Structure 1
């Protein structure tokens, strides 16, 4: 059986600078990742084909990143029963608010876990996908615990430095 991976789909290659945060998290945690540009509207057949194929090849979770109309996560969710995490991209005149609503407001029975708009949301999508896989992977769970501890240690070190500056 192949190692589980996360499939990241983005509606446009211009989304990559924001989506990179999810890729970086998954790579740091040693989680396999595939990244593709697919559009719910402009390439529906290719999107369907990729999702179905990734599902069959062992994809454990999908991350779908799109701005404006942001139907990509919903389309992906309609094609699989694997977890789908939607990342609204801050694009267009509404700066991602339209994408947030399009991603979050799914009909009952077709869930999409929706994270924050933009880069912070992409980062959290990477962590959430890793946490989903960690349910069945104790080594990954330990890497996640280590990452959390490193983050906490960094904050505590910054506080200590601040206290020294203020003294």
Structure 2
């Protein structure tokens, strides 16, 4: 019984003492005079502005040097802008020249192709009217300069088929 009474008294003591606080107490050294909404949660450090040296006026030679450097930088900037504009203008001229050359070459090629097409169609029509199928084949195939050894018999047969008349198969044409 004594043990249970001792246990009750110790629990009552613990309950009466707050063992945990939701908001800790702030030491008085951290409190500031500002209203609570403006107070910083981090304490302010010591003020070293007392030890700062007063600002001295800039010497005349340093001021002149700064002005001179500013002028140099401005000149370099202007020169850089001018060179950049020159490069852009030169590039635009080169691009225009490229397109002009391309278009003239394209037109020239189109014209040449039309001329070659006309010549080819006229020669095709002439060969269809004038010769047999085998003679047209012999005209299209180079029989003299062939390097292949497997075509030797073929090269011998084609001239025989080329001879005029109805002796060769398909010699009558279309």
TM-score (norm 2): 0.19
TM-score (norm 1): 0.20
Q: Report the structure, 1 or 2, having the larger strand content.
A: 1
Q: Report the structure, 1 or 2, having the larger helix content.
A: 2
Larger RCO: Structure 1 or Structure 2 (Cα < 8 Å, ≥ 6 residues apart)? 1
Which structure would you say has the larger Rg?
Answer: 2
